[in-house]
Amino acid sequence: ATTLRGYADGRGVKIGAAVGDTPLTSDSSYTTVLDREFNSVTAENAMKWDAVEPTRGSFNWAAADRLVAHAQAHHQGVRGHTLAWYSQLPSWLRNGNFSVSELSSILKSHIDTEVGRYKGKVYAWDVINEAFNEDGSMRSSLWQTKLGTGYIANALRWAHAADPAAKLYINDYNIEADNAKSDSLYSLAKQLLADGVPLNGIGFQSHFVVGGVPSSMKANLKRFSDLGLEVSVTELDIRIPLPASAAELAQQSADYKTASENCLGVARCAGVTVWGITDKYSWVPGTFSGYGAALPYNESYAPKPAYTGLSNGLNPN
């Protein structure tokens, strides 16, 4: 049978997985599936600011370097995740009382350092992550509050200068449907492009509940694609209230097919990344109590109906 990456390679797109630091080094079943089925990886946590610079000026690149080396050894692309985000900031940054100009140079230095380190090794960066509130207003992150919305254009320009070949993305959740949040992002994206800011793509995280793939998703992704941008599904998982019934697992399979087709059926869809490989390591149960079973493989690495749905979504025939 053709693998997920076999289908993806055949149509020139990525099928990626978010990769955890621990399983990458400790679980051979994990890497067997990762390397057989996926042609792209995203560091689930290893490239976040709190992971790479826990203390100001002292860096911890080990886990991120390990993932990048693994990906290169297995001919997988790397999505960089993530540079300017409101969450997972190290305490020295979160609690510091910096002037506007100092904070701006701290953000620039972070981008120069991290994007520069992986120059030529990362094909796309989630430069901006989760900048919007649900009603379409700007989230009051450290960046937004202190630097204003202009931090977004600046971060994109700094990232482009550090690695001109990398595709630069704005990534968010609950923007998959045509709604107030995606409308605001659409307006921002349009303005950034008009201002000549190096924005290349929009990442639709796509953290869904079973049965909850928005009916407006394909049309919504198309309007961003029609701006000339890439679109990517960047963090797909589809959680189910536990215990998952056979009917819910079947619905999840259909949802994986639909969600992937909603991107792959749109011009400039760069690919689909699932936020993990196996239910064994998913972030979902720890965050949404009573939910789980969100990924294509179960805890024992058996492919679920979701795997077949994803495979059918990727299979162009």
Is residue 205 near ligand G3I by the rule CB under 6 A?
yes
Q: What are phi and psi of 76, to 5 degrees?
A: -110, 145
Using Cβ positions, the residue closest to ligand G3I within the complex turns out to be 283
| Interacting positions 121-180 with ligand G3I (CB under 6 A) | 129
Q: Decide whether 129 or 141 has the Cβ nearer to ligand G3I.
A: 129
- Beta bridge mates, 207: 237
| Residue 68 parent element (H or E) | helix 62-73
Is residue 44 near ligand G3I by the rule CB under 6 A?
yes
Coil, helix or strand at residue 134: coil
Applying CB under 6 A, among 24, 35, 40, 45 the residue interacting with ligand G3I is: 45
Is residue 59 near ligand G3I by the rule CB under 6 A?
no
Is residue 235 near ligand G3I by the rule CB under 6 A?
yes
Question: What would the DSSP string read from start to end of 192-253?
Answer: HHHTT----EEEE--EEETT---TTHHHHHHHHHTTT-EEEEEEEEEEEESSPPHHHHHHHH
Q: Is residue 37 among the annotated active site residues?
A: no
Coil, helix or strand at residue 117: helix
Applying CB under 6 A, among 26, 88, 109, 215 the residue interacting with ligand G3I is: 88
Catalytic residue among 235, 248, 261, 299: 235
Q: Decide whether 85 or 151 has the Cβ nearer to ligand G3I.
A: 85
Is residue 279 near ligand G3I by the rule CB under 6 A?
no
Provide the pairing of β-strand 230-241 with 201-204: parallel
- Sites of contact with ligand G3I (CB under 6 A): 44-45, 48, 87-88, 129, 205, 235, 283
Active site residue ranges: 235
